[in-house]
Amino acid sequence: MAKYVVTGGTDGQSGIEVAGKRYEPGDTVEIPAGKKDWRIDAGYLELASTHKATRARDDNGHYVADDPDTPENEAYDQPTAKKAGGK
């Protein structure tokens, strides 16, 4: 099975549902290799091997630390999906 990262679609905030389970932007989901899936074509999923998160920075340009008391990793920004039409 191939691993994909949920990109959030064109607005970067849309989650998806796969096999009855909800996935939000930044989550990893496995889909059978070679299976055609509209969510990949529409930009809601990106291969995990090509997905690159970047370090989050505050308004002063300093790195943001992860808060260990939350399930999210605030130290990294999740890249947003490319806009339709390359914008």
Task: Give residue 64's domain range.
Answer: 2-86
What does each C-alpha distance from 61 to 57, 64, 71, 80 come to in angstroms?
A: 5, 9, 24, 20
Lowest mean pLDDT among 12-16, 25-29, 70-74: 70-74
Angle at 28 between CA 15 and CA 8, to 5 degrees: 30
Using CA atoms, how far residue 4 sits from 42, 44, 57, 86, in Å, is 13, 9, 25, 21
Structure tokens at 54: 């970047």
Threshold 0.75, pTM exceeds? no
DSSP code, position 11: G
Summarised one tens digit per residue, pLDDT across range 31-82 is: 887 778 888 888 888 888 776 667 778 888 888 888 889 877 777 776 544 3
Structural domain tally of the chain? 1
